Amino acid sequence: MNYNIDFKEIFDHAPVEEPERQYYFMDRTRELVEMKKQYEGYAAHFMVEVMGCQMSAKDGEKLQGILERCGYTMTDNDRDSDVILFSTCTIRENANMKLYGRVGRLKHQYENRPGMIIGITGCMMQEKDEVEGIKKHYPYVKLIFGTHNVYKLAELLYAALSSGKRTIEIIDDTKMIVEDLPSDRKYKFKGSVNISYGCNNFCTYCIVPYVRGREKSRNATDILRECEKLVADGCLEVTLLGQNVNSYGNDIPGSTSFPELLAAVAEIPGMKRVRFMTSNPKDLSDELIQVIKTHPNIARHIHLPMQSGSSAVLKKMNRHYTKESYLELVRKIRTELPDVSLTTDIIVGFPGERDEDFRDTLDVVKEAHFDSAFTFIYSKRTGTPAAKMEQVPEDIVKERFDELLAAVQKSSAENEGRDLHHEVEVLVEEKNQNQDGYLTGRLSNNILVHFKGNEELIGTMQKVRLDESKGFYYFGTLC
Ligand code: SAH
Ligand code: SF4
Ligand code: F3S
């Protein structure tokens, strides 16, 4: 039903400036949704499913904020949803397989719910072949857009709802950053803030620079304003997000540097805890270490993705550091910030990885004493330089992967219980899923503790004594 609305006129009268244009379409969508509710029994329920990293989760919060402003209500059940959006990932092949499986299973629901809009956005939609595949094999996917136009959801949704036709818009890259759009956090007490978008590093295995575009830093004033708003809104912990936070501002002449920005965020009155992700080892500065040292509310956790311990492989990966310089950085961090937990990402089976290269990786794992590590089997990504290099046979990769996993587990076991019997400040995040009457809190160093407590404490900072170490987590008592 089109309720005698002249949709052409609505599009013709839309403001050209952003974000005004999007607010206009949010209002128009809301009006349409209200009519559909009244005359068609439209429930206007939505679900946003995040399939990727923290960037993808942040996009998910923006999608959610826009949909709420358009008059939709969030649900956690896809059978009740009139709009389902996927914020996709394409970092490894299995991420793509997961999306196809999920969308395939929605066909039946689509057939039973007329007018349902299944939409896909995110990194995977920046790949032409994937979009072609979705167009061809999943005719019931009605909305497709990419990472550069997440902010346009209201306009695109309005186009899909008003035309009843499939709406597709993919932009290759953009220099534009649209500020001041709605965003709804998953947790009231913690939030994340983009400090930069995209990546310029072109690590040879990685698809991110192709699907997220060139690095674009936000203005420090916009970032600080958003952080202040979060604090005013009850947020106790803020995570600053960038593919490489250390290169923040390099694209803006005279910009604030990342250590300066981090210090300014940490100094916002009422800011209880600040985290950041991700810091590339190639340009983590002494200044950053000093800023962390002098600000107790900056989390004692550095995620320092090493990818490989072999200087030869690191060179082929285009990572701009060596085994020695990485270890030197680890030593410096350990000396200056002894209470920091260090975590990392490691790829096994990068093209051309020889046994001796892999031994170097094991060496670094032994020496760096990581608190934990994410280990990945190299996944060939079409269009990246490494995809054309000679691949390592699968059985060898699998063997190495198992050996690495054992080494990583040994290294994190060595760190176990480092804070045992200490009294620490934790952010109480949720009810413990496995034990009634227990809550789960997060330490500054990102490790979890379970302790007895009342649900009302969720979303507050509490002092907890760590009584028992269970490896990746503790049991404790409220002080
Ligand atoms: N910007 C971050 C990484 C983002 S991607 C950084 O540079 O540290 C997250 C992790 O996915 C990477 O650290 C890497 O370990 C892994 N990864 C990226 N591309 C991959 C690929 N093609 N195969 C396997 N793992 C990959
Ligand atoms: Fe990918 Fe490298 Fe950029 Fe990280 S720094 S997103 S691994 S290209
Ligand atoms: Fe993140 Fe995956 Fe994209 S890791 S940046 S959602 S490819």
Q: Is the CB of 205 under 6 A from ligand 1?
A: yes
The length of the chain, given as a count of residues: 479
- Tell the residue number behind the tokens 């949720």, with chain if given: 430
pTM of the model: 0.96
Candidates 89, 202, 243: which one to mutate for ligand 2, based on the most atoms within 8 Å of Cβ?
A: 243
Distance CA 315, CA 430 (A): 43
Which ligand is nearest the CA of 242, by number? 1
Ligand 1 centroid from CA 375, angstroms: 10
- Please give the chain's pLDDT, 479 residues, in tens: 668 899 999 999 999 999 999 999 999 999 999 999 999 999 999 999 999 999 999 999 999 999 999 999 999 988 899 999 999 999 999 999 999 999 999 999 999 998 999 999 999 999 999 999 999 999 999 999 999 999 999 999 999 999 999 999 999 988 889 998 999 998 999 999 999 999 999 999 999 999 999 999 999 999 999 999 999 999 999 999 999 999 999 999 999 999 999 999 999 999 999 999 999 999 999 999 999 999 999 999 999 999 999 999 999 999 999 999 999 999 999 999 999 999 999 999 999 999 999 999 999 999 999 999 999 999 999 999 999 999 999 999 999 999 999 999 998 888 888 899 999 999 999 999 889 999 999 999 999 999 999 999 999 999 999 999 988 899 999 99
Ligand 1 centroid from CA 246, angstroms: 16
Residue 318: closest CA among 329, 327, 304, 308: 308
The atom of ligand 3 lying closest to the CA of 51 is: 6
Helices (H), 250-319: 258-266, 286-294, 311-317
The pair of three-digit structure tokens given for residue 477, joined into one six-digit string: 């008592």
Distance CA 424, CA 476 (A): 10
Q: Is the CB of 90 under 6 A from ligand 2?
A: no
Candidates 205, 207, 208, 346: which one to mutate for ligand 2, based on the most atoms within 8 Å of Cβ?
A: 208
Candidates 89, 92, 123, 201: which one to mutate for ligand 2, based on the most atoms within 8 Å of Cβ?
A: 201
